[in-house]
Amino acid sequence: MIKKRGKLLFLLILVFTFNAWGKDGLVVYSGRHEKFVRPVMDEFSKKTGIKVYLLNSKSTALINRIKLEGKNTKVDAFISNDAGILQIGSDMGLFKPISKETLQGIDKNYRATDNTWVGLSARARVLVINSKYEKQLGFIKSVFDLADPRLLGKVAITDSANNSFIAGLSVYQALAGDKKTLAFLQGLKKNTIRKVYNKHSKIVEDVAKGKRWIGLVNHYYIYRHLDKHPKAPIKIILPDQGEEGMGVAWNISGFAIVKYTKKTKQVQQLLQYLLSKEGQEVFSKGNREYPVLKDAAVPKMIPKNYKVSKFPMSSLGKMRNKTLNLIEKVGLY
């Protein structure tokens, strides 16, 4: 009985806290970890006096929550770690258009065709290798080479439910076709020998330790690891370069204004700050990601001037189910 009362009290506190949110600020559902979003939100609050309350969870769970809550939701804005999820939210009719003035200086590839979402930062799907095995891995030129039988037991990837994995695969599937991507997934399944990772950081860690020779990750995890372990024997490979290469797959973390918000003016203020030169540099410096504003400085340590795939971010949502069907067909973990 005591346990039941304790649980009930906890739920009541949770409901009270949730209902109190937003009365003196903005509520943002965030599919990104708080430590990557909180610093730039705090800077915004210092400048404007507007508080920002973050509720962090998986992007897919949060978009479903907004749909379920409907007009009764307390949320004002949504941040996703994936352009595909943002587009799905747009297709559900959950967002309202962002003003053209706010989007000045942002490339069309980093926003929805109807301006219902916009990117905040971009990331690259790259390969991390243990530099001790650089010679043996010299044949690696493309992500598709991860399926090579010579890499049996040497490849590290995230589980197939990871949004970055799905989005990257959508790019490969769209540009190289179903047949080649299917063969890639089948080879990848063999080479991982039934072991996948729940975090990119763990991939980089195991590659650094030599437990795996090569991993498919978002670029910034490599630099975060080097921040803590500057002598780690790891190196980045930018795949699919040259005239014949499809280029490195990119994805974005992005922002949308929930159509049910009653605080459009304040949300616009927040977004204007996030897309300003100052906001972009605070965000990208902390995350080691690429700013979407052309005039914002790119963090010094991350790669520049390489070939990026031309696949539009707004098409990731349309590709998602097709990609998930391919993953299911292979039975990838």
Domains of the chain: 2-121+252-299 (3.40.190.10), 123-249+319-330 (3.40.190.10)
CA atoms within 13 A on the CB side of 166: 24
pLDDT tens-digit series, residues 54-64: 999 999 999 99
Beta bridge partners of 78: 29, 256
pLDDT mean over 164-183: 97
Considering the chain, what percentage of its residues have pLDDT values greater than 90?
Answer: 88
Q: How much is the pLDDT for 286? A: 84
At 2, the pLDDT band (50, 70, 90 cuts) reads: very low
Element (H, E) at 123: strand 118-130
Q: How much is the pLDDT for 91? A: 96
Q: How much is the pLDDT for 22? A: 57
pLDDT mean over 30-50: 94
Q: How much is the pLDDT for 219? A: 97
- The label of the residue with tokens 């975060």 reads 224
Least confident of 8-17, 56-65, 240-249, 309-318: 8-17
Beta strands (DSSP E) in the chain are: 25-30, 51-56, 77-80, 95-96, 118-130, 155-156, 214-218, 234-237, 250-258, 290-291
Amino acid at 278: E
Backbone angles phi, psi at 95, to 5 degrees: -120, 160
Q: How much is the pLDDT for 8? A: 43
Question: What's the rounded Cα separation, in Å, for the pair 81 and 217?
Answer: 14
pLDDT mean over 49-58: 96
